[in-house]
Amino acid sequence: MSVQTLYTAATGMEAMQTKLDVIANNLANVNTTGFKKGRANTEDLFYRHYKFPGAQDSQQNPTATGTSVGLGTKIQSIQTKFAQGAFQDTGSPLDVAIEGQGFFQVQDPFTGQSVYTRAGNFSINANNQLVIGSAATGRLLVPNITLPVDTTAVSITADGRVLAQQAGQQQLAQQGQLELASFPNPEGLLKLGENLYSITDSSGQALPSTPGLQGLGVLRQGFLEASNVEPVSELIDLITTQRSFELNSQAIQAGDQILQLISNLRR
């Protein structure tokens, strides 16, 4: 067993540690509204080739296999899985879930740029404008929607029309239109925290449209989309990843013991 064994096993430990970090983040957000789970993918590293497949033997015949030893593994990518989360019935008229594809658009007050979210826990600010229900930052919906001061009831239709009933009136009047945005590659969005994403060169530009059109989902008033993390699946993955980490650790310990033995024999 060579020194390379130690380095190879160490790459396995490092990769499994990153995978454990991803699983821990998934489990930590099991109750986060609109959260989408991450999945760590690994790939093998370079190989040391002692003999290539197809090399000629002593009789000038091509060999069936070669002799190659791998040098370990690394994290290839951490993908975000945008599978639909379950619906939670909240009964709140300003809670809205997306059934299908798409993201709500909100404005970052610091940059003025649009950022995107699956969390539809809306609220109303001091100016009667619809905002994301955040205690840290007041982010307006895009396009902006302002409700009358004397609003007594709010209805949000499946296609995003925001209707309000004013005091003393029987009919609901439309106050605005919710839009959803889609992306050519949603997995390329940059995670910002606070349930927010921003566009990147990988995601492509946002394609806003009316809910229910151009492949976008529809809206469900009075519901929130729950996290799509499945705790049982994550726990199983946690156990197998932890075992893989321990096996690589044992390989390092065994390699170190053999190297010490060889060193003692050479003295």
Sequence-distant (6+) residues with CB within 8 A of 62 are 54, 55, 56
Task: Count the Cβ atoms, other than its own, within 10 Å of residue 198.
Answer: 16
pTM confidence score: 0.86
- The pLDDT value recorded for residue 254 is 77
Sequence-distant (6+) residues with CB within 8 A of 121 are 33, 94, 95, 132, 133, 224
- The pLDDT value recorded for residue 4 is 80
What token pair was written down for 204?
Answer: 């492509």
Of 238, 221, 220, nearest in space to 229 by CA: 238
pLDDT in tens, the chain (267 residues): 467 888 888 899 999 999 999 999 999 999 999 999 999 999 999 888 988 888 887 788 888 888 888 899 999 999 999 999 999 999 999 999 999 999 999 999 888 899 999 999 999 999 999 999 887 888 999 999 999 999 999 999 999 999 999 988 889 999 999 999 999 999 999 999 999 999 999 999 999 999 999 999 999 999 999 999 999 999 999 999 999 999 988 888 776 666 676 666 666
Task: Render 55-73 in DSSP notation, one character per residue.
Answer: -B-TTSPBPS--EEEE--E
Q: How far is CA 199 from CA 85, 158, 205, 253, in A?
A: 22, 26, 7, 45
